Structure 1
Amino acid sequence: MAFIALNNAPVPIQTRAPPPHPKEIDVAFASNHELRKRVHAAIDQNPTQSTLFRDISTYILDQTSAAPADPTTKKRKLQDSSGLQNGAPATNRLTNSSSKAWRTYPGVSFSIPQRKKFTLELLDQQDGGIRAIGANGSVECAIACKDVDQVFCLPVPEKAKKQHNFVIIPVHGDGVAPVPDEWKASPPEPIVWTFEEATGKNVVEGEDPGPGLVAEAIHHCLIQAGTGKQVIFPDANEFASAVPENHRKGDKAYHVKAHRGSKEGYLYFTAVGIIYGFKKPLAYFDFAAINSISYTAVLRNTFNLVITTPTAEIEFGMLDQTDFAGINEYVQKHGLQDASLAADRRAKKLNVNKVGGNKEGAANGAQASGDGDADEESELQKAERELQDKEDDEEDDDDFDPGSEGESEGEGSDSEGEEAGGSYEEGDTAEMEDDDVDGDHMEH
């Protein structure tokens, strides 16, 4: 019986170790850890799919390492929307999604060039840059640090929660100056994404919930690339709106609502220039690109702002009259009313955008403007004078009484005298007639 029981004992099942995952998968999905884990789990559950996933990974690597064959492809690739130098492909390190990023921020909401959530990655060192990685692990848009003109961090108006838009202006991508011929095939576009400040349970103790850490990381990459640029924040010393922030009464507002044609947007007056966002077409007016600034359609509640560049006049309408004084102070401070200073600003453009150079250039411009226009009527004073004259004319029209036409000055005196309680004696009739004659001579 023991012998039979021994032979009938269940034979232990020998489990096989799962086959190793293809290396192509790890490389293709290196920038998306969660997606790579899902692929591995799918292979472990169904090993027959290993070949399929390996082929997909190989295809992804081939696509990211080679330039797209059709430049008009619907999905915006790096060469179509990133503003890389002279439209040429960027370094392999920036375009290759398998290259390791220095900083990674998943789930970031982009609005330009695509309205979609991507993983934001920052690559430092000299050939570094900024790029957006899609859900499939491919580079959707990117820009090399050396091709960055300016980077802004601007508060988003009319939001209950604090949000900031990071705006990257590429070289030749300001939306104002004409694009050089060699760039017209693939003109560079700005890159805009939104940072939402942490609140409640999302706040990490001892860590800034605002955009400061991301701005510092971008600044680090710009410095490593030798650009000398920095992230530009709004500054109350430059401009702060007189209109309070509607959704957060305690916060300063740095924007002015304005219309460009039928589209509504926001103007920001910063230390390096004026920027209009956040919808396409976004425009950035470098000080050197501004010939002059003037005001039109100045009314009781609104006015229009006209920015003149070497190639065009761009008008922004329906600005709140409350911000008139602050904007004009900014314009005078940077010498933007005098077109004769434009050439001088363009000559000093290299110093305008350097760290610390913008303030010096602004001071020089303001001093030059003050010396040249000290005795002239400012644009603001002229507009206010014209508005006052218009109001005086309207008041004169309101005071005019058609029923009094043809009455003499004497008759008016008679009426006034009666209202005052006085009366005329019969002996004063001749004197009244003399007054009537004198009044008629004055009217004629």
Structure 2
Amino acid sequence: MAFATINSGGAPIAAIEEALATEPSLKKRVYDAIGTTPQHTPLFEDLAKYTCTLLARNTTTTSLPLAPPTGDGSAAKKRKLQNGDSRETAPASVDLKGVDVPVQFYVQDVSFAVPQRKKFTLEVTAGGRYLRARNQTTKGIEFGVPMDQIRHAQSLPVPEKTQKQFNFCIIPQYADGITPPPDGTPAVEAMVFTVADGPAKAAFLGTGQQVGHNEGETAEGLIRKVLNENLPHASVVRPDEREFVSAMPEAHRKGEKAYHVKAFRGSKEGYLFLLSTGILFAFKKPLLFFSFDTIDSVSYTSVLQRTFNLNIMARPATGSDADTQEFEFSMIDQANFSGIDTYIKRHGLQDASLAEARRAKVYNVNKVEDAAAASTGGAGAGADEESELQKAQRELDDQEDEEEEDYDPGSDGDSDGSGSSSDEDEDAEHEDADEAMDEDEDLIKDELGSEAEDIPEDE
């Protein structure tokens, strides 16, 4: 593990620490030179201050082009974002306030997926004020968020990877995909960055403390510890087997438990994580995080033999019923139903599977007969502990049984018994007709007597 070494002969120099925060090897050379020739300390300090000035100027100029391009209608769009009139989450903005703040902690070569797909240096500024990403080429700050605006943070194993990795999901206020920012309130996007399950590369604490000195300390554990020490309104949440674990183990890492559920939102494939603070759908933009205070109800639809859909009715924590939105996650494997249903019941989330508005959608029934409704109600009353999915499956089985009872085997033309039955009916009809003709002849003879013999057959 490579770490920056601080001048052991004296206290760190603030200007040098700030100017060379992302260049540990160069900083080491500077401190070595100061140790050899202490009389050059003022010179190195002045050079460091000048470097800080250049970095600040470079950051300011590189951040300005992130505004919308000029052209027809662009000025109005630019004003709309700057004035906060848009209720949509604005792209992560460059954190100019944190440019001159000394760095407390950083890790180089961190792969970001949101809001940009690129490798950056992850930084935490002094005092834990900002979490930000620095461009490793230009040394400019690309985006950042104040720590006190972060409401949720998760460290999650990346599914379907041969080598174990972790994704950190940082969700600031109004970036959960559920609660839009109020009018006039700017907001930033969530952050998603990945670290490998191993030692950090060039990790550094700007206070001069050595980081990662504990044997076996990983980049994930190090970042999680630093975030927990600096987040005022949240802590990093990890998957917990007591909350939820998938019925299917991790396919790419044999013997390892999986904590995700593969699902689709429309045509977009992602993963559901059922955590102690809520339900997360990740890892592509936009992230959706349903904290417990935003979930109105949960239901199951499109129940099939192998898959089912999970529907979440959610609304902003401070919103009204009119703000409720429905989010459907489809093609979830039936093997995970038991764990999901247990999680929902444990946290007291309302299950709306049998609501009348959903019955027609799930079972394709527009009108329920009174007798069938009474029968269903009686069965449900005697099975309070029966799960909602089991009820749905039972009703589907009952419907199939009714269709089988209504089936008439005599309607098939090639049935063995259908031909003999038809022949018997025709023979019976012919016998009845012959008997009727004989009775008519007897009546004529009785009435006419011998005269009936003289009547021509043609008449």
Q: TM-score, normalised by structure 2?
A: 0.60
Unaligned runs of 5+ in 1: 1-24, 41-52, 340-372, 412-444
Deviation by residue 1:227-251 (Cα, 9 ceiling, x = unmatched)? 3x21100011111110111011211
Alignment correspondent of 1:132 = 133
Specify the alignment match of 2:147 in structure 1. Answer: 145
Contact 1:31-1:137 within 8 A present in 2 as well:
no
Decide which structure has the larger Cα Rg and report it: 2
Deviation at 1:88, TM superposition (A): 10
Unaligned runs of 5+ in 2: 1-14, 31-47, 70-81, 203-211, 316-323, 353-381, 422-459
How far apart, CA to CA, are the structure 2 residues paired with 1:196 and 1:374? 48
Matches of 1:122 and 1:399, distance apart in 2: 75
1:33 maps to what in 2?
A: 23
Asked if the contact 1:174–1:282 (Cα under 8 Å) also holds between the matched residues in 2, the reply is yes
Write the deviation string for residues 156-205 of structure 1: whole angstroms up to 9, x where unpaired. 0000000110000110110122332123xx44210010011128x99998
In 2, Cα distance between the equivalents of 1:84 and 1:67? 22
Separation in structure 1 between the aligned mates of residue 416 and residue 118 of structure 2, nearest angstrom: 75
Q: Does 1:195 align with 2:204?
A: no
User: For residues 1-400 of structure 1, what are the structure 2 equivalents within 5 Å?
Assistant: 29-33=19-23, 58=53, 60-64=55-59, 72-73=67-68, 92=97, 95-96=98-99, 98-123=100-125, 125=127, 128-135=129-136, 136-183=138-185, 186-198=186-198, 206-209=215-218, 211-222=220-231, 226-227=232-233, 229-310=234-315, 311-338=324-351, 375=384, 378-389=387-398, 392=401
- What is the one-letter code of the residue matched to 2:135? G
| Alpha-carbon separation, structure 2, partners of 1:66 and 1:287 | 42
Structure 1 counterpart SS, 2:103: coil
- Conserved 8 A contact 1:123-1:221: no
Q: Residue by residue, what CA displacement relative to the aligned partner does 1:228-278 show, whole Å, maximum 9, x if unpaired?
A: x21100011111110111011211100000001111000000000000000
SS at match of 1:178: coil
- Separation of aligned partners in 1, 2:124 and 2:314: 34
SS at match of 1:157: coil
Moved more, 327-336 or 387-396: 387-396
Partner SS state of residue 102, structure 1: strand
- Contact conserved, 1:325 with 1:380, CA < 8 A, in 2? no
How far apart, in 1, do the equivalents of 2:62 and 2:153 lie? Answer: 27
CA RMSD between the two structures: 4.3
Query: What is the DSSP-based 3-state SS (H/G/I as helix, E as strand, rest coil) of the residue aligned with 1:140?
Result: strand
CA–CA distance in 1 between the matches of 2:163 and 2:109?
18
Tell me if the contact between 1:234 and 1:269 (Cα under 8 Å) persists in the aligned partners.
Answer: yes
Q: Percent identity over the alignment? A: 41
Q: Distance in 2 between matches of 1:394 and 1:35?
A: 78
Q: Deviations over 1:285-334 (max 9, x none)?
A: 01111110111111011111111113210101111111011111111111
The letter of the residue matching 1:218 is L
Q: Is the 8 Å Cα contact of residues 295 and 306 (structure 1) preserved in structure 2?
A: yes
Contact kept? 2:94, 2:142, Cα under 8 Å: no
For residues 270 and 162 of structure 2, what CA distance do their matches in structure 1 show?
18
In the alignment, the residues of structure 2 paired with residue 294 and residue 390 of structure 1 have an alpha-carbon distance, to the nearest angstrom, of: 21
Distance 1:30 1:235, change over 3 A: same
- Distance between the aligned counterparts of 1:240 and 1:231, measured in 2? 19
CA spacing shift, 1:73–1:60, aligned 2, 3 Å? farther
Distance 1:122 1:274 in 2: 27
Secondary structure of the equivalent of 2:226? helix
Q: Distance in 1 between matches of 2:403 and 2:25?
A: 70
| Cα shift at 1:386 | 3.2
1:399-431 Cα distance to aligned partner (Å, 9 max, x none): 9683686949x99xxxxxxxxxxxxxxxxxxxx
Task: Give yes or no for contact 1:84–1:90 (8 Å, CA) kept in 2.
Answer: no
Q: How many residue pairs were aligned?
A: 324
Equivalents in 2 of 1:214, 1:145: separation in Å?
14
**Preserved contact between residue 244 and residue 251 of structure 1 (Cα < 8 Å):** yes
Q: Note the C-alpha offset of 1:216.
A: 1.2
Q: Deviations over 1:50-100 (max 9, x none)?
A: xxx9999755423546895566258xxxx99xx999x999683xx21x532
Cα displacement (A) at 1:208: 3.0
Q: Deviations over 1:113-170 (max 9, x none)?
A: 1100011112353x62311111222111111111011000011000000011000011
Q: Which amino acid aligns with 2:195?
A: F
* Structure 1 residues 305 and 335, CA gap change in structure 2 (3 angstroms): same
1:328 alignment partner, SS class: helix
Q: Which has the higher contact order (CA 8 A, sep 6+)?
A: 2
Q: CA deviation at 1:32?
A: 2.4
CA distance in 1, matches of 2:93, 2:161: 39
Q: Secondary structure at the match of 1:285?
A: strand
- TM (normalized to structure 1)? 0.62
Task: Check 1:205–1:398 CA distance in 2 against 1; reply closer, same or farther (3 A cut).
Answer: farther
Per-residue CA deviation, residues 205-224 of structure 1 (Å, 9 max, x unaligned), is 822346222211110111xx
Deviation at 1:397, TM superposition (A): 9.2
